């Protein structure tokens, strides 16, 4: 059982919002203030494999999170490693409020898919989400690490935790308004 399957107890301090089937969580090792992710309460390997009955709720939450971040921070980048480069074997979609892009790096290792299928990388900005087929070897956490480098944040997660409590409180306060 992975940590996201135990989110209700293990991650209770970082849960920002909950619905019947999902949690909105502040990353415990954030790249920037407002680094959120969306996780299903049920075990799911990646969002592309998720049952259609959850899609309406999933899509509504994406819109809610994007609107919140756009209003309080800036337009976020969305990314998911799919099953190809996960560090936790449970679906989780990252929302990163930043103007930075790593699309040029993604295009060095992956090509866009017309019809999404697993395995994949997901990358989105300004309402456009693209699934990528990985054609070169990548390491687990590839997108996360690439953003850490781009944002000049520590690659090692524990080194990023220094700001986490303060940032989580700020986000929670803004969310609860």
pLDDT confidence of residue 113:
97
Which helix (H) or strand (E) element contains residue 105? helix 103-109
Assigned domain for 174 exists: no
pLDDT confidence of residue 5:
60
Assigned domain for 68 exists: yes
Cβ(84)–Cβ(43) below 8 Å: no
pLDDT confidence of residue 103:
95
Tally the domains of the chain.
1
Assigned domain for 76 exists: yes
pLDDT confidence of residue 157:
83
Which residues fall within 8 angstroms of residue 86, CB to CB, at 6 or more apart? 46, 140, 141
Domain assignment of residue 121, given as a range? 3-167
Task: Give the count of alpha carbons within 13 A of 75, CB side only.
Answer: 8
Cβ(20)–Cβ(148) below 8 Å: no
CATH code, domain with 55 = 3.30.428.10
Bridge partners for 97 per DSSP: 76
Cα-based distances in Å from 140 to 48, 61, 120, 143, 146: 18, 26, 13, 9, 11
pLDDT confidence of residue 9:
76
Task: Round the average pLDDT of the chain to a whole number and report it.
Answer: 92
* Residue 27 main-chain phi, psi, to 5 deg: -60, 130
3-class secondary structure, 43:
coil
Encode the chain (177 residues) as per-residue pLDDT tens digits. Answer: 777 767 777 788 889 999 999 999 999 899 999 999 999 999 999 999 999 999 999 999 999 999 999 999 999 999 999 988 888 878 899 999 999 999 999 999 999 999 999 999 999 998 899 999 999 999 999 999 999 999 999 988 888 888 899 999 999 999 998
What pTM value is reported for the model?
0.93
Task: Give the count of alpha carbons within 13 A of 147, CB side only.
Answer: 25
* Tokens at 79, concatenated: 């990314």
Which residues fall within 8 angstroms of residue 144, CB to CB, at 6 or more apart? 31, 79, 81, 87, 94
Assigned domain for 175 exists: no
């Amino acid at each position: 059982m992975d940590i996201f399957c135990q989110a209700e107890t293990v991650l209770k301090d970082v849960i920002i919002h909950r619905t019947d089937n999902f949690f909105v969580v502040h990353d415990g090792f954030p790249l920037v203030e407002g680094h959120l992710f969306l996780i299903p309460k049920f075990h799911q390997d990646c969002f592309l494999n998720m049952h259609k009955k959850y899609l309406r709720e999933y899509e509504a939450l994406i819109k809610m999170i994007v609107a919140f971040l756009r209003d309080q921070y800036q337009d976020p980048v969305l990314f998911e490693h799919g099953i190809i480069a996960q560090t936790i074997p449970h679906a989780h979609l990252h929302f990163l409020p930043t103007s930075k892009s790593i699309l040029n790096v993604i295009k060095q290792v992956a090509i866009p898919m017309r019809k999404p299928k697993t395995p994949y990388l997901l990358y989105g900005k300004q309402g456009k989400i693209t699934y990528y087929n990985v054609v070169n070897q990548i390491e687990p956490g590839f997108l996360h690490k690439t953003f850490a480098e781009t944002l000049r944040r520590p690659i090692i997660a524990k080194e990023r935790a220094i700001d986490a409590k303060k940032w989580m409180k700020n986000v929670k306060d803004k969310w609860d308004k």
